[in-house]
Structure 1
Amino acid sequence: MTAPLEDPWPAPRARGPIDSVITLPGSKSLTNRALVLAALADGPSVVRRALRSRDSLLMAGALTALGAVVDTSGDDWAVTPAAFDRDASIDVGLAGTVMRFVPPVAALGTGLVSFDGDPHMRQRPIGVILDALRAVGVTVEGDALPFRLHARGSVPGGVVTVDASSSSQFVSALLLAGARYDAGIDVRHDGKPLPSLPHVEMTVEMLREHGVGVDDAEPNRWVVAPGPIKAVDHVIEPDLSNAAPFLALAAVSGGRVTVRDWPTRTTQAGDALRGLLAQMGCDVSFTTDGLTVTGTGELSGIDADLHDVGELTPVVAALCALATSPSHLRGIGHIRGHETDRLAALASELTALGADVTEHADGLSLRPATLHGGTFHTYADHRMAHAGVVVGAAVDGVRVENVTTTSKTFIDFAPFWASLF
């Protein structure tokens, strides 16, 4: 059994260039979508190289509670669909994908299904999905965690208008289950620009791989035709967003880090790291092993709209705090509704370590400053922990509070990180 980590955890300091080739766990976004589609499919299938993390195990547990069989004993997870014919209690933990993706699935069964999670999850937006389910014929009690829905064996489906400007997961959630609704589903987004659009594109591509008809020709509208969801085996790509701190380590240490098996084509938002790190002065290239980032030890600031890739903001902000010229990160007001208010948290924690940060309604401005040690709080947010260890790699005396929150998407992240120094 792994010994408990010191808390706050002393982040390792890079004393020279880090040179490493690493293999990352699978993508959470791909794993959890694949699990949902497998549970709704017309036969058994396998999710290969599934991410083993708290979020993905919570998704497997939720689908199992509804009646599917999900074998998580090996690296490849076999999923056998079954009738969702029972009452169930779903623990969403801190997983937004479980809280938002599972209710539209549960509505296809029969029984009373209750949802709850970690205390902090009761603050995260969910009302959009619950109202959308009511609009397509589902009976729901409550407007936030904890809530319950009464599943009656089918969902009428049809047209539903949502304001998904706070999370693209609201759209993905309805699309994933929509093919199994009597009339399919016609989702129309009405609000500010949809954030994290690559995640919706990921959902659409995976649905099409399962033989589901999806019409997304009209902006802000997705029409899923009713019909079966074909059983398909998936091989999960490495989690490219989880690559952020490791590639950042090359940047801050003037070293070289290669992430194995980086796909040359992907719908993952983390692929944007290639362009962002190049803008900051790194050399970024595909090699025979994967993607290699080589840093110079000096970082240039950037002006970047991260609206579509908001999950990268914490690590990018950490790099900007260490840059030699000013930065402005824009278009990310929606990340105030992520695991924590990430804009406020980043401004607070980076400022506490000496950074010059201004918080805006939809972003952050950062100017060159000399950073110092101190405790970096994570707010039970794995991406905040990633930001903390990146700063710690460049600054003496940084201690990261609750670094184990990284288990959400990367079990044993801290020991793995420390092994690179």
Structure 2
Amino acid sequence: MFLVFLRLGFTAFGGPIAHLGYFRQTLVTRRRWIDEAGYADLVALCQFLPGPASSQVGFALGLLRTRSLLGGIAAWTAFTLPSALLLLAFAYGAHALTGPSAQGLIHGLKLVAVAVVAQAVWGMAGSLAPDRRRASIAVGALLLTVFAPMAFSQILAIALGAVAGLVLCRSDDGPGTGSRAVPISRRAGGVALAAFLILLIGLQLLAGALGSHALALSDAFYRSGAFVFGGGHVVLPLLRSALVDPGWVSPDAFLAGYGAAQAVPGPLFTVAAYLGAVAQPAPNGVLGAGIALVAIFLPGLLLVYGMLPFWDAVRVRPAARAAMRGTNAAVVGILGAALYDPVWTGAVGSPRDFALAALAFVLLTAWKAPPWCVVVLTTLGGLAIG
């Protein structure tokens, strides 16, 4: 489990939506660790919850596959480690990428994301929105997300998709075929949800009562991770408010870390490693990076762990299966909206960009090329264009 996700951690460029595409190709299509419906259920659950969606999905996949919490921790650690170490190194003096060649490399990585997300939309639409009703739900979710690009629009799209599924998809035969063997008791899930709330309130109270900067730093990152809906980029304004406003991190250092985070694989939340390392006063450096990483990811992982046993029990009911068909279709629409903005609009600006993204898409879908190979070739192509 660790080695599989470590490879993904080194090659998964392009942000959370692209990461879901990498996960789908590696773990659903190629390794068949979970089927399409089960994977879509996990994506829908993690879209409902605050936190880093791709890291939450990876954690849940590791947990379900190995039937142990250790497997989930191994998946999360391996997926997070490469980008966290790169950003920690940047905090210790690596220079930000500048110049035409470096910009070309970054542009190539953005074009990789176009191909990966397009492949995910193409594959998931065929299995999760195969008829007129579910295709219509998917398009409705796409329109809502495109024309109302707010942090909660994805949650609203999934909720409306569930309602539409209840109305339109009750006649569909057969239960969902996703994984139902959740190795978590409801009692353990309840403990995890209680721990989420206790830490959310308790860290702030303890930091104020004890005057501990380590606790204050933990609280800043924990609250940022607990209130993020809509993807990794949404965490940046929260972190800026939590760290720059009190003077712990300078505005220039914050922006430099954001720029570096765009050039590394893995979850964008690992920018916390850089910010924890450069924050003043102590603890900072390696200790500050460790505190920041654990604190920003912990709320999302606690929520997934706490919700999985209840989620699985609900989804086997007939009404819940109908709602789930609607939410799965809505997930396809949300992925389609993300393919347009920010993935397409942020990467494709010329016919050469379009040609390179199309080539990467064909390599992934028709030639079944490994994602890391497509990353290398497309990045070199972006460098040539630059």
TM-score between the two structures when normalised by the length of structure 1: 0.25
TM-score between the two structures when normalised by the length of structure 2: 0.26
Per residue, is there more strand in 1 or in 2? 1
